[in-house]
Amino acid sequence: MIGEYNTQRPPIILKEYGRNVQKLVEYIRNEPSREKRTEMAYTLIELIKQLTPSLKEQPENPQRLWDDLYIIADFNLDIDSPYPMPERDILFKKPKRMDYPQSPIQFKHYGKNIERLVQEAVKIEDPQEREDAIIYLGKLMKTFYSNWNKETLDDSVILKDIERMSGGKLTINIDKVREDNLFEKLYKERKKAKPQQNGARQQGSHRQFKGKGNQRRRG
């Protein structure tokens, strides 16, 4: 008996169900009796539920199984289904292409969201709240910049960038910023402990432990 090669077989329409399910659908489709086709279709749906473990992990959606049954049958299956046959054009309709924002980013090292935050800060009317927003923006910008560059960005450069993004509406005294370190990064890099320091700590702990032991012996 000559084996059947995959290249000689029809392609599998829905690979998650396999070739055997596809053969059963073809067998059902060729059954002359509509009543018998319907009965076998219901039986096949229950069989698919048992043979496909992934269906147990997903929310129950019985209509999806019937839709898949029609897809495997190439929308040529005359049965009394609990759900109407899906329309081929709607089912295989390609989703619309999403439009991505095309507005240029003026300061890429800060990101587009910083520009949005600057525009929101411009809307603030209270002087103190506006100054707090400028300080927070400065902290954010210095933090974001340090993520991409090793060198430190001068506070005056950050302030000029804020003024440019806000059209000159957001500003603060640079001397005050430098004196109070207002644009300090939101987080500081953790310094790794030196091995010598760790060794010294361990030796110190060892001495303390020995000292306690000696005290116990003396007691």
CB 170, CB 122: distance < 8 Å? yes
Q: For 152-176, how does the pLDDT look when each residue is reduced to its tens digit (9 = 90+)? A: 789 999 999 999 999 999 999 999 9
Low-confidence winner among 72-76, 82-86, 151-155, 189-193 (lowest mean pLDDT): 189-193
d(CA 167, CA 162): 8
The model carries a pTM of 0.43
Tell me the torsion sign for CA atoms 124, 128, 131, 136.
negative
Q: For 170-199, how does the pLDDT look when each residue is reduced to its tens digit (9 = 90+)? A: 999 999 999 999 998 876 655 544 555 544
Question: Among candidates 148, 116, 152, which has minimal Cα distance to 133?
Answer: 116
Average pLDDT over residues 59-73: 84
Average pLDDT over residues 73-102: 78
Q: Which residues, 6+ apart, have CB-to-CB distance to 163 below 8 Å?
A: 170, 171
Domains of the chain by residue range: 6-91, 112-180
